[in-house]
């Protein structure tokens, strides 16, 4: 190259596969002599700069830091008696392509992977009947069951609007005033709050969903995605050390595993309840703060997930990836869980802001085969008719080329929950003593001794940085409501005693 000659990279990099879709200006040399003044006619300089200064899009309002990979889901058991949803309806051995994204919740997009936080565990399956998004976490329950609390809860975990600092005092003020969160808080402050690797954690639907068979019979269902790499967690010290030495530890771990051919694998299992069992269940079947014990509602293995391909273009395949719990094929339906019902709205809504109204046309989000009646709007780049000819009408025409609508074999009123009983009516958002039963089981029966010790130590460290004593006291009382020994052990570490008498819900 001549000394005073520069090539504009976009002009010399032609992408043959895009020929015909975008019209590139012809390739030529742009000469900038040292004595030449930059003027408006240096169109390519201005083009380059103006694209550069627009390279960022809004990050996710939650779950901003994360990464992912591609692979497949394979059906391993025939459950067509339970659901008509693809891929299950297509027989054992059916495989569908998928993309998964793992994330932390509260931190911004540059924050360390190893921060103490739940992990997002989102799976996009591209089935023959459309996209099926499983937007799960690595915990079986969530902090709340009243969706109006979600934005307020997230505010308490993110930065204080005055100082722009995260604050343990504010975090514990929220949790201790909303003690239905205690099960999730206990998982978070055990070493399960800092997984060593995304491949070494399970994923859970949390919510109850419904699976519906062709004849309209239906079951409540919860889904668990079980790591075949085993579970491994970091200690608080290891997590802190990695946050400093390699903030992208989990991102790199996933990439390295796949690059080395050690493809992370999960088994998929479901728990089911008939509508009648749901009505009789001790807890509200739509309460997101409760688990269905596996000894009462056994896991049935139905599928397998393998991740075997790293993204080649991270922005296109991961940052532009978007999920919605509302993306479900016929045969899968939401339950009445109010948090799930709220999520059916919130995800597509946020994504219209983050990626635009045509986010489903972005290749990574696009279903395998689509026709729709949406033709216009920002960044409509595919001509708009999906697999129909570009001239196809944007309404269901009676005389233009055929658009046929597959019929759902069941009637939606057939699968409505009966409007009686605890299965559908959240009897109260108020805290009750029952809210401490499962946390007690978690502490005494499920946690190992190491997990119990890590929980106590990590809570003591966190509560010692809370600056308001009434928040410390209320938080301590919350743990004492779970278990007397747990309360006493934490109290010892923060120099307080559980209140007497204790009030543990109505
Ligand atoms: C009312 C309750 C909730 C609301 C309003 C809500 C809202 C959101 C929003 C706005 C995003 C960002 C989406 C995007 O920009 O693409 C998000 C991401 C996410 N949420 Fe929720 N969320 C709720 C509860 C939950 C629950 C209960 C779970 C798990 C069981 C969950 C799992 C996730 C995951 C995994 C992501 C990351 C998706 C990705 O990787 O792109 N969320 N949530």
Query: The CATH number of the domain where 90 resides is what?
Result: 2.40.180.10
Where does a domain end: 313, 330, 365?
365
What residues make up the domain containing 284? 66-183+193-365
Is 273 part of any domain?
yes
- How far away, in angstroms, is 121 Cα from ligand 1 center? 10
Report the distance separating Cα 305 and Cα 96, nearest Å. 10
102 and 165 belong to one structural domain? yes
Tell me which residue has its CA closest to atom 30 in ligand 1. Answer: 136
96 and 151 belong to one structural domain? yes
User: How many residues does the structure list for the chain?
Assistant: 506
- In the residue annotation, 137 being an active-site residue is answered as yes
From 63, 70, 202, 249, active-site residue:
63
Is 390 part of any domain?
no
Q: Which atom of ligand 1 is nearest to the CA of 349?
A: 10
Residue tagged 């278990």 (tokens): 483
Average pLDDT along the chain: 90
Is 375 part of any domain?
no
- Which pLDDT does position 14 carry in this prediction? 44
Report the distance separating Cα 96 and Cα 75, nearest Å. 9
Structure tokens at 452: 């119990």
First to last CA, the chain: 79
Cis peptide before 308 (omega within 30 of 0): no
Report the distance separating Cα 125 and Cα 437, nearest Å. 36
25 and 160 belong to one structural domain? no
pLDDT band at residue 35 under the 50/70/90 scheme: low
Is 120 part of any domain?
yes
Non-local (6+) Cβ contacts of 407 within 8 A are none
Report the distance separating Cα 473 and Cα 490, nearest Å. 11
131 and 214 belong to one structural domain? yes
Higher pLDDT, 390 or 77: 77
Question: What is the CA 115 to chain-centroid distance, rounded?
Answer: 17
From 137, 233, 250, 327, active-site residue:
137
Report the distance separating Cα 104 and Cα 65, nearest Å. 6
Q: How many CB atoms lie within 10 A of CB 275?
A: 19
- In the residue annotation, 63 being an active-site residue is answered as yes
Report the predicted TM-score, pTM, of the whole model to 2 decimal places.
Answer: 0.92
- How far away, in angstroms, is 105 Cα from ligand 1 center? 8
Report the distance separating Cα 380 and Cα 139, nearest Å. 37
272 and 311 belong to one structural domain? yes
Q: What is the mean pLDDT of residues 144-148?
A: 93
Is 372 part of any domain?
no
Asked whether the beta carbons of 171 and 184 are under 8 A apart, the reply is no
- Residue numbers in the known binding site for heme are 347
89 and 198 belong to one structural domain? yes
Q: Which atom of ligand 1 is nearest to the CA of 142?
A: 27
Tell me which residue has its CA closest to atom 14 in ligand 1. Answer: 60
70 and 48 belong to one structural domain? no
353 and 237 belong to one structural domain? yes
- Which pLDDT does position 414 carry in this prediction? 85
pLDDT digits (tens, 9 = 90+) for 379-434: 888 777 666 777 788 888 877 766 777 788 888 888 887 655 444 445 456 899 99
- How far away, in angstroms, is 347 Cα from ligand 1 center? 7
Where does a domain end: 321, 337, 365?
365
- Which pLDDT does position 96 carry in this prediction? 98
Q: How many CB atoms lie within 10 A of CB 141?
A: 24
Element holding 97 (H helix, E strand): strand 95-104
Closest CA to 286 of 326, 211, 339: 339
Element holding 271 (H helix, E strand): strand 265-273
Non-local (6+) Cβ contacts of 133 within 8 A are 122, 123, 124, 125, 323, 324, 325, 326, 327, 328
pLDDT band at residue 241 under the 50/70/90 scheme: very high
Radius of gyration of the chain (CA): 26
Where does a domain end: 365, 383, 411?
365
26 and 118 belong to one structural domain? no
Q: Which atom of ligand 1 is nearest to the CA of 147?
A: 1
Structure tokens at 364: 């990574």
pLDDT of 56 above 70: yes
Number of domains in the chain: 3
Is 506 part of any domain?
no
Report the distance separating Cα 410 and Cα 279, nearest Å. 22
217 and 255 belong to one structural domain? yes
Report the distance separating Cα 192 and Cα 302, nearest Å. 25
- How far away, in angstroms, is 310 Cα from ligand 1 center? 23
Non-local (6+) Cβ contacts of 150 within 8 A are 144, 339, 342
Asked whether the beta carbons of 319 and 103 are under 8 A apart, the reply is no
Non-local (6+) Cβ contacts of 258 within 8 A are 69, 264, 307, 308, 309, 310
Is 75 part of any domain?
yes
- Which pLDDT does position 15 carry in this prediction? 47
Lowest-confidence region among 21-30, 248-257, 398-407, 454-463:
21-30
CA of 38: how far to CAs of 31, 32, 34, 46, 439, in Å? 12, 9, 10, 10, 67
Report the distance separating Cα 475 and Cα 487, nearest Å. 9
Is 421 part of any domain?
no
16 and 81 belong to one structural domain? no
30 and 161 belong to one structural domain? no
Closest CA to 211 of 80, 73, 76, 344: 80
């Amino acid at each position: 190259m001549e000394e005073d000659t520069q090539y504009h990279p976009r002009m010399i990099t032609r992408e043959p596969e895009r020929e015909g879709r975008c019209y590139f200006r012809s390739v030529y040399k742009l000469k900038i002599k040292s004595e030449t003044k930059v003027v408006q006619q240096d169109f390519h300089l201005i083009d380059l700069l103006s694209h550069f200064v627009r390279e960022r899009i809004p990050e996710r309002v939650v779950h901003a830091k994360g990464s992912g990979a591609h692979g497949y889901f394979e059906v391993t058991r025939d459950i067509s008696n339970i659901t008509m949803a693809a891929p299950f309806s297509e027989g054992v051995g059916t495989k569908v392509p998928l993309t998964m994204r793992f994330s932390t919740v509260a931190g911004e997009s540059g924050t360390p992977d190893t921060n103490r936080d739940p992990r997002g565990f989102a799976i996009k399956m591209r089935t023959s009947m459309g996209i099926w998004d499983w937007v799960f976490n690595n915990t079986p329950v969530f902090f709340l069951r009243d969706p109006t609390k979600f934005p307020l809860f997230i505010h308490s975990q993110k930065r204080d609007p005055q100082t722009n600092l995260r604050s343990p005092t504010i975090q514990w003020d929220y949790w201790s005033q909303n003690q239905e969160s205690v099960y999730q808080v206990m998982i978070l402050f055990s070493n399960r709050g800092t997984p060593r690797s995304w491949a070494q954690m399970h994923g859970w639907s949390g919510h109850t969903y419904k699976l519906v068979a062709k004849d309209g019979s239906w079951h409540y269902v919860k889904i668990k995605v079980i790591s075949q790499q085993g579970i491994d967690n970091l200690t608080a010290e290891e997590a802190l050390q990695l946050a400093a030495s390699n903030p992208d530890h989990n991102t790199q771990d996933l990439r390295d595993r796949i690059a080395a051919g050690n493809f992370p694998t999960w088994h998929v299992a479901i728990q089911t309840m008939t509508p009648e069992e749901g009505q009789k269940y001790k807890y509200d079947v739509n309460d997101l703060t409760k688990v269905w014990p596996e000894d009462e509602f056994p896991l049935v293995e139905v599928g397998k997930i393998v991740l075997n391909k790293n993204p080649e273009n991270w922005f296109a395949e991961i940052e532009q990836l978007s999920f919605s719990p509302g993306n479900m094929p016929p045969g899968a339906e939401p339950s009445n869980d109010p948090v799930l019902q709220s999520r059916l709205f919130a995800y597509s809504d946020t994504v219209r802001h983050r990626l635009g109204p045509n986010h489903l046309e972005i290749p990574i989000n696009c279903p395998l085969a689509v026709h729709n009646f949406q033709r216009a709007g920002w960044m409509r780049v595919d001509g708009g008719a999906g697999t129909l000819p570009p001239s196809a009408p944007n309404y269901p025409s009676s005389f233009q080329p055929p658009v046929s609508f597959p019929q759902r074999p069941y009637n939606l009123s057939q699968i409505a929950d009966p409007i009686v009983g605890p299965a559908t009516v959240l009897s109260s958002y108020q805290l009750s003593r029952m809210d401490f039963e499962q946390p007690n089981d978690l502490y005494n029966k499920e946690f190992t001794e190491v997990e119990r010790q890590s929980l106590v130590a990590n809570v003591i460290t966190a509560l010692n940085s809370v600056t308001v004593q009434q928040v410390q006291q209320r938080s301590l009382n919350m743990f004492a409501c779970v278990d007397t020994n747990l309360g006493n052990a934490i109290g010892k570490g923060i120099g307080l005693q559980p209140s007497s008498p204790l009030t543990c819900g109505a």
